[in-house]
Chains A and B, each alone.
Chain A
Amino acid sequence: MRILRIVFSLLLLAFVSSATAQVKLTMWSHWAAEKIKRDFVEDSIKRFEAANPGVKIEAQWYEKTALYAALKTSLRAGTAPDIFYAEPDQTEYMDNGLLLDLSSLNWPAIEPWAKEIWSYKGKPYGLPLEASTVEIYYNKKLMADLGINVPASMQLDSAAVLDLSKKSRSKSMTPMALGVGDRPFPGAYLVQEALLKKLGTADYDNLLKGKLSWSDPRVMDTLRLIRSWTDAGLLPTTFTTLKLGEAHTYFHTNPGAVMFVNGSWYTSRAFNPPDKGGQPANFPLGIMKFPAIPGAACNECRTLSVGGSYVANAATKHPKEALAFLNSLATPDTANRWLENVLVQTGIKADYAKVGGPYAGYFRELQATSQGSKYYFGLPFQVMQGKPKEVFTQVFNNAFPAGSISVDEAVKQMNAAYGK
């Protein structure tokens, strides 16, 4: 009898504990070194857990390349997390049915162009948290010291760029910090933005998708223009090996450069405390548009791309909870919180007028550079696939800005990659 009672109470205990059992979701994310974004996500997790007792999310933070490698192998092995970081260029996830269909999310709260970027065969697969444009950050003081005046339009022209390069080199300063040691896209910023402006959105799209030849005179003229900039010593000597994080430091701390071309997510590293790689206190940060290109079809065109997003594993055992978490991010409140704290654009609809916080001033400047802009959605390496992408990366991210390949040779390689 006593044994029966013990067994019964144990069974009851087991039943009760399983009924209130915690659902545990695993999440892998990039941004291990970007405190602001990491804090934001962890804060969002806490809010979600508070609103949903019984669900716990365990987040693991990685560096991007390590994350991608780990995901690639673990997705194959069936050991991937429930939620993970991804960027829209990773179509191989969708091609292989590895992601959960996110159609049930609160899409009215999300920008339509962001949804479009994440759509595959008509269904959306990612929550577009981060969006960014390509900006030129500059040191206001150094710029003033060189006697260069940034007009009210916030856009220099090509002659001013050459002038700036010459003047800073004469003072042994690097005009523009930039490094491609560990990323396949920063070097290409120069070429891509210039080409976008010269060609306009339609022809730029054609160019990236192989429908317009790279031998087009407008393309070659633009490449020659960029070549003239790099020949004037625009970029650091260590350009090919300088890492992304190091490039930031190169610009704002040591040795210091006049300009830095970067995605608008610059802030997520630069606004870290200085001892964690952030810019020094009271750094005279300025922001301006990419220089105007002579003979451009659209000098107000710029790239807007979706960056860090979160997706759900198709094989997750807790789809409901995973979707609930992603949905919790798709609110205007989240968007504003993101804008105020991370100071990068977002794919979630936000009330831009309401953005306050200590960095509101910077944010207004960021908005100012985007005023009157026409957007092309997507970075080249997100839009291109396979061979052309590989060649583009090697040629326009690395070799061309470094000056190791001529305009003609670069064009030849790109055409060949498309099979022309």
Chain B
Amino acid sequence: MEAAPGRRPLPLISSVQRQPWGAIIAFLLPAFTIYTAFTAYPVVRTLWNSFHTVLPKNEEFVGLDNYAALAQDEIFRRAVGNTFIWACASPLAEISIALLLALALFAKIPGMRFFRVAWFTPVLMSYVVVGIIWVWIYNYDWGAANAILRALGLERWVQAWIGNPKIALPSLILVTTWMWTGFNMVVLLAALHSLPSEVIEAAELDNCGWGAKLWHIIIPLVKPTLLNLLVLSFIGKMKIFDLVWITTKGGPLWSTETASTYTYKRAFEWTTFDLGYPSTIAAVWFVIVLAAVLALTWLFRQRDRLEY
């Protein structure tokens, strides 16, 4: 059996044996039962919902009406836009800062182990905890962000960070960057450590400038890891809900509305019990996410030529 690209060949069990189907089924059954009942079936049911008006006491087939309404829904468009902006900006920020930090640690700053641990910690916190902390940080009157600006004499820059529609989204992007940079840094550090040392030493000998060394040698070498992290981070941001819910709930003026918060609101907060329309939002969003991830992986596969 051929292996998926880049993976080691699947170790073969001696082909003299016939396949023990009983065992195979036994091993897979529990997982697939759970998967079918709580993942596959819900997906199908959501799609089914999207063609109906789903009320507590009756369901009515409405064909493509929900989809037609969705096409006109500017809030949905806004939400999709916001999520994409987030999913593009945050990974870029996280990973570039992470790379610089990884390089700093790689250059053998003392206390590497401590920093690795300290920077990794934000990732482990619940988004709820992170959200509450950052709402405090962004508080106009006494939050750390404005307090530091005032202390530095930069009064002009003091803002209502999450109360202002123009900067609410960037403020939240900063929060996810804060959370995930440490994670990306740890991965990149591991990747750097696994580079063959001859290449690094050769670069040192060549007396390249620092910038050139970075651009021409190090980045190409860790590119597979970088691309992988970008995809992972992208997927993660497309799913984001908790953070927005705790901080801005999609406001102000829909500037932080994401696909997930909008779906939740339509399903549980609008004055209607209908679950059909939110299911439509979920279905369309599902397709968008799949398409985006496929496009991204394809794009990166094209450029992912350096393997070793």
The answer to whether A and B touch directly, with their CB atoms under 8 angstroms apart, is: yes
Residue numbers of A with Cβ under 8 A of B are 68-69, 72-73, 75-76, 89-92, 95-98, 237-241, 385-386, 389-390, 394-395, 398-399, 402, 404-405
> In the complex, are the beta carbons of B252 and A394 less than 8 A apart?
yes
Q: Which A residues are in CB contact (< 8 Å) with B253? A: 394-395, 398-399, 404-405
Residue numbers of B with Cβ under 8 A of A are 55-57, 75, 135, 139-141, 160, 162-166, 251-254, 268-273
> In the complex, are the beta carbons of A75 and B56 less than 8 A apart?
yes
Q: Which B residues are in CB contact (< 8 Å) with A76? A: 56, 273
> In the complex, are the beta carbons of A72 and B164 less than 8 A apart?
no
Query: Could you tell me the distance between the alpha carbons of A386 and B265 in the complex, rounded to whole angstroms?
Result: 12
User: Could you list some 24 contacts between A and B, CB below 8 A?
Assistant: A72-B273, A76-B56, A76-B273, A89-B271, A91-B271, A92-B271, A92-B273, A95-B273, A96-B55, A97-B57, A238-B139, A238-B140, A238-B160, A240-B160, A240-B163, A241-B135, A241-B140, A390-B75, A394-B251, A399-B165, A399-B253, A402-B252, A404-B252, A405-B253
Q: Which A residues are in CB contact (< 8 Å) with B139? A: 238, 241
Q: Which B residues are in CB contact (< 8 Å) with A404? A: 164-166, 252-253
Q: Which residue of B lies closest to A239 (CB)?
A: B163
Q: Which residue of B lies closest to A78 (CB)?
A: B56
Q: Which A residues are in CB contact (< 8 Å) with B166? A: 404
Query: Could you tell me the distance between the alpha carbons of A96 and B75 in the complex, rounded to whole angstroms?
Result: 26
> In the complex, are the beta carbons of B271 and A238 less than 8 A apart?
no
Chain A proximity of B248: nearest CB distance (Å): 9
> In the complex, are the beta carbons of B57 and A237 less than 8 A apart?
no
Q: Which residue of A lies closest to B252 (CB)?
A: A398
Q: Which B residues are in CB contact (< 8 Å) with A98? A: 56
Query: Could you tell me the distance between the alpha carbons of A117 and B251 in the complex, rounded to whole angstroms?
Result: 30
Q: Which residue of B lies closest to A413 (CB)?
A: B253
Q: Which B residues are in CB contact (< 8 Å) with A89? A: 271
> In the complex, are the beta carbons of A241 and B57 less than 8 A apart?
no
Pick from B56, B75, B160: contact of A237, CB below 8 A. B160
Q: Which A residues are in CB contact (< 8 Å) with B268? A: 69, 72-73
Chain B proximity of A132: nearest CB distance (Å): 20
Q: Which residue of A lies closest to B142 (CB)?
A: A238
> In the complex, are the beta carbons of A386 and B252 less than 8 A apart?
no
Chain B proximity of A397: nearest CB distance (Å): 10
Given A96-B55, A96-B57, A97-B57 in contact, is the A385-B254 Cβ separation under 8 Å? no
Question: For chain A, what secondary structure do more than half of its interface residues adopt (helix, strand, loop), or is it mixed?
Answer: helix
> In the complex, are the beta carbons of B140 and A399 less than 8 A apart?
no
Q: Which A residues are in CB contact (< 8 Å) with B160? A: 237-238, 240-241, 402
Knowing that A240-B163, A386-B272, A399-B165 are A-B contacts, what are 13 other residue pairs whose CB atoms are under 8 Å apart, sorted by A's residue number? A76-B273, A95-B273, A96-B273, A238-B139, A241-B163, A386-B271, A389-B271, A398-B251, A398-B253, A402-B160, A404-B165, A405-B165, A405-B253
Q: Which of A68, A89, A97, A240 is packed against the most chain B CB atoms within 10 Å?
A: A240
Query: Could you tell me the distance between the alpha carbons of A76 and B141 in the complex, rounded to whole angstroms?
Result: 42
Query: Could you tell me the distance between the alpha carbons of A243 and B11 in the complex, rounded to whole angstroms?
Result: 61
Q: Which B residues are in CB contact (< 8 Å) with A90? A: 271
Pick from A68, A69, A394: contact of B254, CB below 8 A. A394
Query: Could you tell me the distance between the alpha carbons of A90 and B273 in the complex, rounded to whole angstroms?
Result: 11
In the A-B complex, the 5 residue pairs with the closest CB atoms: A240-B163, A399-B253, A92-B271, A76-B56, A238-B140
Chain B proximity of A379: nearest CB distance (Å): 14
Q: Which B residues are in CB contact (< 8 Å) with A390? A: 75, 270
Q: Which B residues are in CB contact (< 8 Å) with A385? A: 271
> In the complex, are the beta carbons of A237 and B141 less than 8 A apart?
yes
Query: Could you tell me the distance between the alpha carbons of A95 and B57 in the complex, rounded to whole angstroms?
Result: 11
Q: Which B residues are in CB contact (< 8 Å) with A402? A: 160, 163, 252
Query: Could you tell me the distance between the alpha carbons of A68 and B268 in the complex, rounded to whole angstroms?
Result: 9
Q: Which B residues are in CB contact (< 8 Å) with A241? A: 135, 139-140, 160, 162-163
Q: Which A residues are in CB contact (< 8 Å) with B165? A: 399, 404-405
Query: Could you tell me the distance between the alpha carbons of A405 and B139 in the complex, rounded to whole angstroms?
Result: 21
Given A385-B271, A394-B253, A405-B253 in contact, is the A238-B141 Cβ separation under 8 Å? yes
Q: Which A residues are in CB contact (< 8 Å) with B270? A: 386, 390
Query: Could you tell me the distance between the alpha carbons of A237 and B164 in the complex, rounded to whole angstroms?
Result: 11
Query: Could you tell me the distance between the alpha carbons of A366 and B162 in the complex, rounded to whole angstroms?
Result: 37
Q: Which of B141, B166, B271 is packed against the most chain A CB atoms within 10 Å?
A: B271
Chain B proximity of A10: nearest CB distance (Å): 41
Chain B proximity of A28: nearest CB distance (Å): 16
Query: Could you tell me the distance between the alpha carbons of A72 and B55 in the complex, rounded to whole angstroms?
Result: 12
> In the complex, are the beta carbons of B252 and A399 less than 8 A apart?
yes
Given A69-B268, A402-B252 in contact, is the A237-B140 Cβ separation under 8 Å? yes
Chain A proximity of B138: nearest CB distance (Å): 8
Query: Could you tell me the distance between the alpha carbons of A72 and B166 in the complex, rounded to whole angstroms?
Result: 33
Q: Which of A241, A386, A389, A398 is packed against the most chain B CB atoms within 10 Å?
A: A241
Chain A proximity of B58: nearest CB distance (Å): 9
Q: Which B residues are in CB contact (< 8 Å) with A398? A: 251-253
> In the complex, are the beta carbons of A240 and B252 less than 8 A apart?
yes
Chain A proximity of B269: nearest CB distance (Å): 8
Query: Could you tell me the distance between the alpha carbons of A76 and B54 in the complex, rounded to whole angstroms?
Result: 11
